[in-house]
Amino acid sequence: MWIPQLSPNFEPRQELVQYVVLHAMNMPTTQDALNMLCDPQSKVSSHYVVDRDGTVYQLVSENCVAWHAGESAWGSEKNLNRNSIGIELIGEPHKPDGTYTEQQYSRLKVLLTSLKNRYGIEPHNVVGHSDIAPERKTDPGAGFEWFRLEQDGLVERPNFTEHTVYAELNDYGYQGSEAAVRRAVMRRLGIKPPISVLNP
Ligand SMILES: [Zn+2]
């Protein structure tokens, strides 16, 4: 199902789309998440929301900039809102490293395939919020199974491990303090930390 629900939180897009940023919201209900993304006071939004049953909500036109990434960096690219599409996954309520459903992965594959075909997005440029804002964000969390998207060539298979030296992680794209980058790398590799605090 595809449900449009327009958010007032957007601005005109001036640049070509080159990135996709994956997020998660682990709020009590999907409606809570939609309300927040459509509340003019919140100043946040995303282009798409993929619910746990596979329903896709579109909140902002792809031709406009949604406010999902905030202060962010990937390689030399900074503040990725202007040239990215934001996709929020509805996570398990209050579980920052919770799992996602088969329906979500299958809808996400359809959506990413369409975006890749239409914008020529490189697999390296499909990133998690915690990859591009490791000091501030943890979503979509260590429970998100990136390898499912690697198999279809929609995201890049990481050429790093948790033991890779910081300079190489930096070259790969990660910006921020070594400690924060290492935590982001663990999440990307699906290694759950002992304690994790959600900050979507
Ligand atoms: Zn996020």
What does residue 82 show for φ and ψ, rounded to 5 degrees? -65, -30
DSSP reduced 3-state for 11: strand
Determine the distance separating the centroid of ligand 1 and the alpha carbon of 24, expressed in angstroms.
6
Please check whether residue 193 lies inside any domain of the structure.
no
Please check whether residue 194 lies inside any domain of the structure.
no
What is the model's pLDDT at position 196?
57
Structural domains counted in the chain: 1
The answer to whether 92 is a known catalytic residue is no
Angle at 85 between CA 84 and CA 87, to 5 degrees: 135
Determine the distance separating the centroid of ligand 1 and the alpha carbon of 110, expressed in angstroms.
21
DSSP reduced 3-state for 31: helix
Q: Are strands 19-25 and 126-128 parallel, antiparallel or unpaired?
A: parallel
Residue 48 and residue 20 in contact, taking contact as beta carbons nearer than 8 Å:
no
Range of the domain at 117: 2-188
What is the model's pLDDT at position 195?
61
Please check whether residue 197 lies inside any domain of the structure.
no
Please check whether residue 83 lies inside any domain of the structure.
yes
Determine the distance separating the centroid of ligand 1 and the alpha carbon of 70, expressed in angstroms.
9
Residues of the chain below pLDDT 70: 1-3, 193-200
Name the pTM for this structure.
Answer: 0.94
Please check whether residue 196 lies inside any domain of the structure.
no
Please check whether residue 87 lies inside any domain of the structure.
yes
Determine the distance separating the centroid of ligand 1 and the alpha carbon of 131, expressed in angstroms.
10
Please check whether residue 198 lies inside any domain of the structure.
no
What is the model's pLDDT at position 87?
98
Residue 72 and residue 22 in contact, taking contact as beta carbons nearer than 8 Å:
no
Residue 87 and residue 108 in contact, taking contact as beta carbons nearer than 8 Å:
yes
Residues with Cβ < 8 Å from 133, sequence gap 6 or more?
69, 70, 71, 72, 73, 176
Dihedral, 128, 112, 97, 67 alpha carbons, nearest 10: 50
User: What's the CATH code of the domain at 108?
Assistant: 3.40.80.10
List 15, 88, 162, 168, catalytic entry:
88
Determine the distance separating the centroid of ligand 1 and the alpha carbon of 200, expressed in angstroms.
4
